[in-house]
Amino acid sequence: MALYLAIPGNSGINWTSFPWFAIVNYLKSWLSSCCDDHNPYPVYTVNKPQPQMTLYDGLVYLVGDPSDSVVSRVGAPASGDLHVGQTSYLNGQMISEVYVNIMRDYGVAATIYHELLHNKFRLSVDIHRTADGNFTSATAPYSLGGPSDADQALMCQALQERARQFQSGF
């Protein structure tokens, strides 16, 4: 699995304070340490559809705040009460997004991790009910220290799931 962090042209991201490298480093570390095989899971930044993306890959859009929402812009079912990110679907394709202007690097990375779980399970697993979860809790901010063992076990399962990703949000 590869994780694609998508930056739409009208992302609304405040680039003067965007901690890109820290976010990517957190995600690479957490994803590569969640399963016994310790495979390196690459994290890419993209600004256009990726024809090489497989059903095992994940795609999370990074946007400034809810007013820049890809989910809302394309008319997918949306949750209006979500302040850090959301995952939805449209025509059998998963759409995940994280609002980056309101959080620091750790919070952004943790929320990407959280939304990726929703995405890979195609919203069919209630990750919020994970016993002893940190990044699977229903609300941010998440505790420092990274994903819990329960979060990591759930992510290991999720990485094996197939989900079509919505690539028309650019």
Q: Of the given ranges (20-29, 33-42, 97-106, 124-133), which has the lowest mean pLDDT? A: 33-42
Q: Which tokens hold the place of 73? A: 């812009």
Provide CB contacts within 8 A for 133, sequence distance 6+: 127, 148, 150, 151, 154
User: Around Cβ 16, how many Cβ atoms within 10 Å?
Assistant: 5
Strands (E), 7-164: 43-46, 58-63, 85-90, 93-99
- Name residue, tokens 């079509």: 164
CATH architecture of 3-158: 3-Layer(aba) Sandwich (3.40)
The rounded mean pLDDT for the chain is 93
**CA 86 from centroid of its chain's CA atoms:** 9
Work out the pLDDT band at 36, boundaries 50, 70, 90: confident
Mean pLDDT on 55-73: 96
* Predicted local distance difference test score (pLDDT) of residue 12: 96
Q: Which tokens hold the place of 71? A: 């989910």
Q: 72-85: per-residue pLDDT in tens?
A: 999 999 987 778 99
Which one-letter DSSP state was computed for residue 10?
Answer: T
Distance CA 113, CA 108 (A): 9
What is the enclosing helix (H) or strand (E) of 4?
A: strand 3-6
Phi, psi dihedral angles at 45 (to 5 degrees):
-105, 130
Q: What is the pTM of this model?
A: 0.96
